[in-house]
Structure formats: C-alpha cells, structure tokens
Chains A and B, each alone.
Chain A
C-alpha cells in the first residue's frame, strides 16, 4: 500500500553535474506534479504531467530543467549543469484521474538536493 515514492531521499551533486530525481505515483494515479521548496520558503509549483504528456510547465525554469512521465516507469525531474541555487527540497505529488471535483494531491517525502 505504497504512497508516492521518491528517490533518492538525499542527493549531493557538484556544480555542473546532472541531477535526476524520480517519482513513482500512488497506484492508480496518472497525474504527477513537481514542487520545489527553497530554504525558508513555501512550496512552488514547477510542472504537471500526465502519462507521456506535459500539461503545465509554467513553473519550470526555462533552462536546465526538464521533466517526463513515460508510459512505463517513474516520472523524472532532470536538472542539468546544477548550480548552488538549485539546492532545495523537491516534492512530487500525484492525484487520481477522474471527473468532477479536483482530486486531492498526495505528496511524497521529497528529495533533498544539495549542490557543493
């Protein structure tokens, strides 16, 4: 009865390296959301995906960041050429498909990214 699973829990990278963050949604959920929480700040929306489609990436930085949610496997948030300012907690949430009232989002425990 797994909830939203994120890995790794902690990730350390040097400036200029690539970071890959993974998110497996709850069983039966096909909507995935990525949020970023900078130190001492609230969570900020980055991107919303459904299987094989990016629906809304209005919160995603234009450069170096990309996200995917393939037909098989977890959703991936990829950060290329990381900089110190990318240090943050990255949270993934998922929700159920369906019509009617928007479904609640269920969150994972996050990935804490530290850039040396």
Chain B
C-alpha cells in the first residue's frame, strides 16, 4: 500500500519531443504528489507538484496530469531540451510520509 510505481526506468527523447513519465500509487491517503529533478552528484530539486483536487497543473514546459480514480499521475515535458537530461522522481506524500518512485533516467538527444 505504500509503493509508488514509476515507469519507464529510462527514456530517450529527441530534442523538441515530449517526454512522458508515469507513476501509480496505492494509498488513497496521499494528498500531495511532487516531481523532483536530480542531476548527477546533486540533490533532488522540486520541479512541480499537484494536489488531488485538480486534474492538471502546468508550469512552463512541465505539466502534471492527475487521475484520482485510477490513482495515477504523470509528468509531461514539452519541447524537451538536452538540459532536461536528468533523473526524475515522482513521489506521493501524506501526513509526514513521502514515498518516492524508483526514478526515470531521461536523456534528450540533441
């Protein structure tokens, strides 16, 4: 019940393309769903987050789509750039608990 399943494990996208990363959770008590971006040798940085009262949130080229009934959420990166190449973690948070997905390594080809 505490797992957050993230896919794909790795992703290669052409520059200008759309990168899509998916996550699924089990515990309906989660009420905060962030995405973190991590570059090698650095700590994760909060990218964008959503709460279950909305189905979509957009910030620049980054969009979270949230499907409460399916208990799934996804990150879309529009117009992907080589600088977006990093590892992305989804997470689900409820109370003082945050569960992280396994991560997706994104590589954007120039």
The reply to whether chain A is a binding partner of chain B is no
